[in-house]
């Protein structure tokens, strides 16, 4: 199936992800101005972002269940309102503790309802299984395009105005998410699909997944992904500033992460359709091991920062189409938002630790070096974790298609 023949719902989902995840991935460049404004150390902002990611994950399974039951449109609209409110309240906060509610809880809930789990769950119901990883890869790439488009714009707004004004513009952008959601038509499964998949209850689907060893290995791998992504997105700008590089260098490095992930997400998704997803996942994490290891070993310059942004961007969120594709391949599409939502919760536990531990370790040691090397070790472990996964459809699906 050509990407141009994908249903309109896929393209509307892409529009939502460009805004939602583009804003989310820009938060790292707000660390220093917000920390300076409230006269706090970096751990304060790191913890607010860590709380956001943890709650993003806590809300995700419940939001996924709600989406599976009532459809994605209402959930996305509710999430967009919470997202906008959280950004607006952050921009007018007078006490740093307010950020735990606004940037932490409200934005965390907003992200859970407007990002990958909900959009991919909707896409899975309208795209054939044999093209799922490709569709997931294209949809995942949208979030990266948002990163490429939003971060330089946010840097410009902060330079010309201030960080408060930038967040207020972001809040207004969230109204576009509501507009896109209004045009989304909930997919109606075929009679055959309904007959086959609706015989299983949610409780049965959860028991089936929790008793499957491969499901827990998928959880473990996605934990590492979350740790990597949020540590780098939150702390790379500060790390480069510590190396006496200009703020524009950090913004450009993160923008390169975004643009190269556009190609990377689609590439890894296509590879997941052609080859064993577990082997492709292992290859992706081996690439991450080499890229991060090289970055922390070589001298840090504007050139190496840009190269690192592009290289890590190529394997940044390629894990999303592969992980969601594995869950769908093993357990089917009917409860994908729920089962992938639970996996995503584990991802966000990793995100919480990556964002918070980065600030904690820096404030304690005055250096990011220990945590950079821990990301190298975790990447290598994740590459090994995916090898024993059994990615064949479970017996229930084999019997239904027999």
Query: How far lies 40's CA from each of 46, 104, 107, 363, in Å?
Result: 11, 17, 21, 11
Domain range 203-401, CATH architecture: Up-down Bundle (1.20)
C-alpha closest to that of 122 among 84, 81, 76, 174: 76
Query: How far lies 263's CA from each of 134, 250, 310, 380, 402, in Å?
Result: 12, 21, 10, 23, 37
* Phi and psi, residue 217, nearest 5°: -65, -35
| Exposure on the CB side of residue 394, measured as CA atoms within 13 A | 19
Which distant-in-sequence residues (6+ apart) come within 8 Å of 374 by Cβ? Answer: none
* Predicted TM-score (pTM) of this structure: 0.76
Q: Rounded to whole angstroms, how far apart are CA atoms 362 and 35?
A: 14
Q: Rounded to whole angstroms, how far apart are CA atoms 177 and 19?
A: 7
Q: Rounded to whole angstroms, how far apart are CA atoms 328 and 322?
A: 10
Q: What are the pLDDT tens digits along the chain (402 aa)?
A: 555 566 777 788 888 988 998 888 788 788 888 888 888 777 788 888 888 888 888 888 888 888 877 778 889 999 999 999 999 999 998 888 898 999 999 999 999 999 877 887 777 777 776 666 677 777 877 767 777 778 788 888 888 888 899 999 999 999 899 999 888 765 554 444 444 455 778 888 889 899 999 999 999 999 999 999 889 988 888 889 888 888 788 878 887 887 888 888 888 888 888 889 899 999 999 999 999 999 999 999 999 999 999 999 998 888 888 898 898 888 887 787 788 889 988 998 898 888 888 888 888 888 888 999 999 999 999 999 999 998 888 876 655 554
For the chain, helix (H) and strand (E) counts, in that order, are: 19, 0
DSSP per-residue codes, 374-385: HHHHHHHHHHHH
Q: Can you state the angle between helices 319-331 and 116-124, rounded to 10 degrees?
A: 50
| Domain ranges (residues) in the chain | 1-185, 203-401
Q: Which two tokens stand for residue 54?
A: 């943890």
Per-residue pLDDT at 384: 95
Q: Rounded to whole angstroms, how far apart are CA atoms 64 and 72?
A: 9
C-alpha closest to that of 55 among 14, 115, 143: 115
Q: Does 1-185 match 203-401 in CATH topology?
A: yes
Q: Which two tokens stand for residue 260?
A: 């190269």
C-alpha closest to that of 252 among 305, 296, 215: 305
For residue 185, give the DSSP letter. P
SS3 189: coil
Q: Rounded to whole angstroms, how far apart are CA atoms 260 and 173?
A: 24
Neighbours of 124 (CB within 10 A): 23
Per-residue pLDDT at 361: 87
* Phi and psi, residue 275, nearest 5°: -125, 175
The CATH number, out of the four listed (3.30.450.20, 1.10.260.40, 1.20.1250.20, 3.30.365.10), of the domain defined by the range 1-185: 1.20.1250.20
Q: Rounded to whole angstroms, how far apart are CA atoms 165 and 135?
A: 35
Torsion angle of the four alpha carbons 224, 228, 231, 234, in this order, in degrees rounded to the nearest 10 = -130
CB 102 within 8 Å of CB 90: yes
SS3 109: helix
SS3 351: helix
Per-residue pLDDT at 270: 84
Question: What's the farthest any 2 CA atoms get from each other in the chain?
Answer: 64
Which run of H or of E encompasses 230? Answer: helix 213-242
Residue showing tokens 């994950």 = 57
Q: Rounded to whole angstroms, how far apart are CA atoms 269 and 144?
A: 14
């Amino acid at each position: 199936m050509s990407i141009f023949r994908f249903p309109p719902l896929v393209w509307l989902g892409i529009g939502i992800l460009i805004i939602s995840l583009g804003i989310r991935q820009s938060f790292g460049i707000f660390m220093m101005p917000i920390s300076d404004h409230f006269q706090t150390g970096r751990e304060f902002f790191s913890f607010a972002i860590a709380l956001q990611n943890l709650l993003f994950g806590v809300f995700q399974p419940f939001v996924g269940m709600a989406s599976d039951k009532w459809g994605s449109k209402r959930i996305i609209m509710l999430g967009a309102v919470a997202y906008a409110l959280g950004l607006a309240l952050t921009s007018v906060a007078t006490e740093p503790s307010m950020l735990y509610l606004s940037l932490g809880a409200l934005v965390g809930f907003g992200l859970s309802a407007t990002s990958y789990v909900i959009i991919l769950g909707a896409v899975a119901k309208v795209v054939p299984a044999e093209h799922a990883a490709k569709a997931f890869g294209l949809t995942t790439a949208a979030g990266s395009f948002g990163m490429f488009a939003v971060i330089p714009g946010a840097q410009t707004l902060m330079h010309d105005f201030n960080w408060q004004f930038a967040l207020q513009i972001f809040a207004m952008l969230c109204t576009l998410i509501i507009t896109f959601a209004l045009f989304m038509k909930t997919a109606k499964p075929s009679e055959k699909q309904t007959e086959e998949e609706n015989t299983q209850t949610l409780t049965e689907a959860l028991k089936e997944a929790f008793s499957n060893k491969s499901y827990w290995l998928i959880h473990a791998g996605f934990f590492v992904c979350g740790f990597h992504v949020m540590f780098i997105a939150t702390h790379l700008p500060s790390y480069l500033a510590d190396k006496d590089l200009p703020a524009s260098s950090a913004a450009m490095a993160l923008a390169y992460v975004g643009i190269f992930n556009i190609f990377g997400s689609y590439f890894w998704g296509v590879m997941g359709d052609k080859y064993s997803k577990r082997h492709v996942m292992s290859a992706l994490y081996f690439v991450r091991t080499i890229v991060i290891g090289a970055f922390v070993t070589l001298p840090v310059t504007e050139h190496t920062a840009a190269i690192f942004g592009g290289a890590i961007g190529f394997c940044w969120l390629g894990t999303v189409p592969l992980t969601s594709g594995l869950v769908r391949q093993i357990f089917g599409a009917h409860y994908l938002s729920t089962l992938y939502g639970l996996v995503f919760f584990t991802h966000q536990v990793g995100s919480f630790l990556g964002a918070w531990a980065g600030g904690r370790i820096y404030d304690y040691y005055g250096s990011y070096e220990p945590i950079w090397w821990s990301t190298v070790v975790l990447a290598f472990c994740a590459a090994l974790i995916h090898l024993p996964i059994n990615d064949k459809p479970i017996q229930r699906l084999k019997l239904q298609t027999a």
